[in-house]
Amino acid sequence: MVHHMLPWLFPARSSTVRPARPDDSQAIQRLIHRARYRHLHSEWRPITDWIGRATALVAEDRHSLVGFLVAPADPPRVAWIRAAAVDLNEKTTFQLMRQLLEACLEQLSGQGVRALCAMPVEPWLTPVLVDLKFGVVEWVITLEKPDLSIPRRGNQTAVVRPAVWEDIRELADLEAAAFEPRWQYSLEALETAWKAADCFTVAEVAGHVTGFQVSLVAGQRAHLARLTVHPSAQRRGIGARLLADALEKYVELGVEQVSLNTQTVNSASLHLYHAFDFRPTGPPLAVWERPVGR
Ligand SMILES: CC(C)(COP(=O)(O)OP(=O)(O)OC[C@H]1O[C@@H](n2cnc3c(N)ncnc32)[C@H](O)[C@@H]1OP(=O)(O)O)[C@@H](O)C(=O)NCCC(=O)NCCS
């Protein structure tokens, strides 16, 4: 039965990789829906928002869409793999993903991007990252708080109020001061977050915005996506105040459980979250990174 052996005898054909166009959107959505291998880490934005705007690539095989990868450079010097999907068998998936990633790295190097990062949840992407010389640079842990108790109130001299559109530019500066480039929310990311968030508050001290938090709420679950305090104002209870106020707001919204992520080396945030009874939900996830264009 020679034909049964054919796939093992001949290496998989190489597919055609090209930039994704807006008219691919529906096919991409279908691919993501049906794909056996997928990676979704889109944070605030629907994946289709990036098509035609960023490093979004598709792979075609005999005119059908079999692969998709999007890695926008946001913040500008660092790109993240926000989505990847491949609808092939196990053997050809590796080859196609490699092809998509190589094309992506080439495009990013032309945009002045320094690094490409990925945080896979499923194991299928990792062998390709290893093969392309990505290395683990950090670990991220998910923490959950099973109730909405507020063990401390934080700095009561700070004024906490809802964020307004006019705050966004200042918050982008605050992000740049508080986080290394890999984790920074850009102005654009903050604008998207402002539109999508269910709870977005800032803390002012003496009339200056010194910190903010932004959260999403889905049913009885809240996810604290970001908590940032300007380095010059840290360790004065502002993080605790923003967290305590967010928990109060969650109660009003009918939330019963809160989650968030942080890096395993972020002792400041771990200390704060531990004091608020957040506990790890499982093992940490690796953050993979490789330089671009070097
Ligand atoms: C994490 C962060 C929001 C905390 O904000 P903050 O205003 O400094 O926090 P608070 O002053 O309310 O401190 C809360 C607790 O954490 C402790 N803490 C703060 N910074 C710390 C540090 N660098 N190391 C150890 N503990 C620290 C405080 O001492 C306090 O505990 P205590 O009352 O038992 O002393 C702030 O450090 C920050 O913005 N970091 C950079 C961005 C970031 O990492 N955000 C979180 C990512 S998920």
Residues 272-290 have pLDDT tens digits of 999 999 999 999 999 999 9
Contact (CB, 8 A) for 120 and 172: no
Check if 96 has its Cβ closer than 6 Å to any atom of ligand 1.
no
Q: Report CA(283)–ligand 1 centroid distance (Å).
A: 22
Taken in order 164, 183, 56, 26, the sign of the CA dihedral is negative
Check if 269 has its Cβ closer than 6 Å to any atom of ligand 1.
yes
Closest C-alpha to 111, from 78, 68, 69, 70: 78
Give the model's pLDDT for residue 162.
Answer: 98
Which residue's alpha carbon is nearest to atom 4 within ligand 1? Answer: 239
Q: How far is residue 283 from each of residues 134, 142, 279, measured CA to CA in Å?
A: 21, 8, 11
Percent of the chain with pLDDT over 70: 95
Query: Is-above-0.85 flag for pTM?
Result: yes
Check if 224 has its Cβ closer than 6 Å to any atom of ligand 1.
no
The mean pLDDT value for 180-202 works out to 95
Q: Report CA(217)–ligand 1 centroid distance (Å).
A: 24
Mutate to test the pocket of ligand 1, among 160, 205, 235 (most ligand atoms within 8 A of CB): 235
The segment with the largest mean pLDDT, out of 11-15, 40-44, 110-114, 140-144, is: 140-144
Give the model's pLDDT for residue 91.
Answer: 74
| Atom of ligand 1 lying closest to residue 262 CA | 48
* CATH architecture, range 142-287: 3-Layer(aba) Sandwich (3.40)
Which residue's alpha carbon is nearest to atom 25 within ligand 1? Answer: 268
Q: Where are the domains of the chain?
A: 2-133, 142-287
| Atom of ligand 1 lying closest to residue 240 CA | 12
Check if 229 has its Cβ closer than 6 Å to any atom of ligand 1.
yes
Strands 115-118 and 135-145: unpaired
Q: Report CA(219)–ligand 1 centroid distance (Å).
A: 29
Check if 266 has its Cβ closer than 6 Å to any atom of ligand 1.
yes
Mutate to test the pocket of ligand 1, among 153, 179, 269, 272 (most ligand atoms within 8 A of CB): 272
Q: Is the peptide bond preceding residue 72 cis, with omega within 30 degrees of 0?
A: no
CATH class of 2-133: alpha beta
Residue 27 has pLDDT above 80, yes or no: yes
